[in-house]
Amino acid sequence: MNKTLLAVAALITTVASTSIHIGNCNESLSFAEEHTPGTKFTCTNYQTCKLWDCKVIEVMFPICNKEEDCKSFNCQYRGGKDNTLGGCQFIGSMINITVDESKWLLEQIKVPNLKLKPVLLFRATRDGWLVTDYHSKVDGHTNFYIFIKFKESQRRSAGFTQIDQGIINNLANDNQSFILSIDKRIVATGNQNNRNLNVYPDYGPMFTYGQGFIVLSVQNDDYIDYGFAICGRSEYYMPLEDNQLCSLTGLQKNRDHEIDELEVWHIL
């Protein structure tokens, strides 16, 4: 590399290092209004986790009145994603998981020696709503999140388990499993020795306690497009809301409800 190229590379490095990272790109206009034209900054699109290089610019007449000092910004996609955000791990989810929600979801997992890197195994709207579709994608994997989005309320629930859904034909104990409400940020674990799953080749995901008392499940049928949850159980407590609706679903507790989306994410 000749001296000219080295000088250019050094200049680029210096400029990049002096850029201010403001976090969410939604804050770009507020940042621009408070800084002088020419100020460089970077931001992250919290929906896609893409990184952008930006610069504050001055807006001229006629877009801006002559009497006003107007500023805006220009941005260019840098390429790549912001790997400092834990929430970017769930990019591609169709249930609108935000960066903050994603970081919170990963923080709930207490299984040792995991990298906490999610990989999408199954999406019902992509892979099919048959229970056989579910098992064809999920069986053989351990440590995964199951996301359920209920159609009527748009409420999002989740459960985590270590158990391979393809090797057990019975009630299985999992002391690392739990269920939660994504929207309400409520986690339920129950007694460590009573956290169970019903694992059968003709069942979808079914979180239970004791001798198979259901707390969060999809219907036991050929299709897994309906699900239900039961809140208020003292042994595996997920609270009821003030209107007596279940915190997991935002709906009545003792009936099936249509599911908008069902996703399974393997946690490496």
Name the DSSP class of 41. Answer: E
Given a cut of 60, is residue 9 above it in pLDDT? no
pLDDT > 70: what percent of the chain? 88
DSSP-derived pairing of the beta strands 186-188 and 178-181: antiparallel
Contact 37, 20 (CB under 8 A): no
Given a cut of 50, is residue 15 above it in pLDDT? no
- The phi and psi torsions of 10 (rounded to 5 degrees) equal -65, -40
Residue 13: per-residue pLDDT: 38
Residue 62: per-residue pLDDT: 62
Mean pLDDT value across residues 205-231: 92
Given a cut of 90, is residue 45 above it in pLDDT? no
What does the pLDDT look like over 126-165, one tens digit per residue?
Answer: 999 999 999 999 999 999 999 999 999 999 999 999 999 9
Residue 66: per-residue pLDDT: 64
| Cβ count within 10 A of residue 17 | 7
How far apart are alpha carbons 141 and 73 in whole angstroms? 46
Task: Tell me which of 51-65, 209-223, 248-262 is least confident.
Answer: 51-65
Length of the chain: 268
Instruction: Name the more confident of 121 and 255.
Output: 121
Contacts of 196 (CB under 8 A, 6+ apart): 171, 172, 173, 174, 177, 207, 208, 209, 210, 212
Report the DSSP beta bridge partners of residue 198.
171
What is the average pLDDT score of the chain?
86
Contact 220, 203 (CB under 8 A): yes
How far apart are alpha carbons 161 and 197 in whole angstroms? 8
What does the pLDDT look like over 168-214, one tens digit per residue?
Answer: 788 899 999 999 999 999 999 988 778 888 888 889 999 999 888 99
